[in-house]
Structure formats: structure tokens, C-alpha cells
Amino acid sequence: MKLVHIGLGGMGKTVQTIAQERGHQSVGEIEVGDEIDTSSLGNCDLAIECTVPKACVGNIRKVLKAGKDCLVITTGWYDEMDEVREMVEKSGVRFLYASNFSIGVNLYFRVVEEAAKLINLADEYDVWGHEIHHKNKVDSPSGTAKTLETILLQNIDRKKRVVEEKLDRKIEDDELHFSSVRGGMVNFGHTIGFDSSSDCIKIEHFARNRDGYALGAIKCAEWLLQQKPGFYTMDDFLKSVFK
């Protein structure tokens, strides 16, 4: 693949390194604020967007306008999802996004989903979530946390809504509290707790570095270029791999 990398922060650089290790070519680097057009995208097969939430949708729009396929690593822009989906459908290109590209994290999502279905049948358990990310993470809670919240709400009937902010009161029975901490240089961790008066079940995922996220992104990019034009998610990739 010939890749243009939009955003070269910590994650963006790791993605570029992993791509080169897998034999792909970097044909362009675009930082936040740089122009994105047919000239800067050149002859790339795919643009990888890895910047910040406030710049992401604008970058996607420019990539699609140039007729280039796009993979988006940035999170925190999902309130504009409908607009992006419409742009993709009109542009006739391939597009893929994920709240988390780590294969391990996506397997973790499936484990949490199955556990939540069981906990739904055991009403003596309360449910909570917690995450920690490095100090440079710009959105809180993360896209990964948002996905976990959705999984829990969809599968545990007694939980109706999420509280993400600091609580100075007793939590209501139908609320799910999901807390976030930011600190350190390379922190990526999520914990789901199923807690009763007798015991506590914890399901955790902690990443050792960014490599798993970057490798998952490049595997998705390789897969995406073999698909028909359209709007894809990590679930589409996983369904083709874990049949």
C-alpha cells in the first residue's frame, strides 16, 4: 500500500512504523493545519487520519473530496457520524473507522458482551467501569469507553443511563458510572466490574504499548482495500477474520 499519514503524534508515528515493517510505503505526511487536497495526497492508495477530534471531520471531508480511501483512528467525533456516513456514500470510496483498532481490545469487547448477558440474569450484581489513558489523550472518556458503555447498556436491562462525571451523591440503581483518569506517558487500560455484596468480578484489558493498536489499524487498512466502496467498521473486519 501507498499511504499518506495525516497526523504524526505518538499513535500516528507508531502506525507509520508498523506499516513500513509490513512492507508498505509512506508517500506523504500531513500535520494538523496542513492543506489536504489532491496534491498533498498524491498517488496514495489510502489516507490514515490520526489527529484530534476537532480537526477530524474536516480532514475526512477533504480526503473524500479528493476521491481517496480513508481509515480513521481519531476518536471523539462520533456526534457527526451521520454526516460522515452520508459523505462516504456520496463519494464512492472505501472508509473504515473504529473506536479502538487493537485486536485484543475488540476481543475484550466480545468478552464483556457475553459477561454482561450473564450478569443481566444476576440482579445482585452492580456494574461499573473505569479507564486510564496517557496524559496526552485529548478526549475523555475515550471512544473505547463509549463502546464499553454501549455494550453494557444494551445487555443489562437494569442499567438505563451512563454517568461519566464526578459524583457527589449516591448513584441511582439504573445508572452506570464509568470513570476516567488521565496520566503518565503510555497508559491504556480498561476495567469492567460486576460487584455484589459477596464478591467482585473484574474484566480487564491493559495494553503494554501502542503497537497492538497500530498493527490492528494496518491490518484493517490492508483488508479495506480489498473491499467494495462503502462505509465499514472494525466489526466488519472482525467478522471476516473470526468467522
Active centre residues (catalytic): 133, 137
Rounded to whole angstroms, how far apart are CA atoms 49 and 32?
10
Rounded to whole angstroms, how far apart are CA atoms 14 and 215?
9
Considering only CA atoms, which of 133, 180, 170, 178 is closest in space to residue 153?
178
11-to-101, 142, 212, 228 alpha-carbon distances in Å: 11, 14, 11, 27
Length of the chain: 243
Handedness of CA 119, 122, 128, 134 (dihedral sign): negative
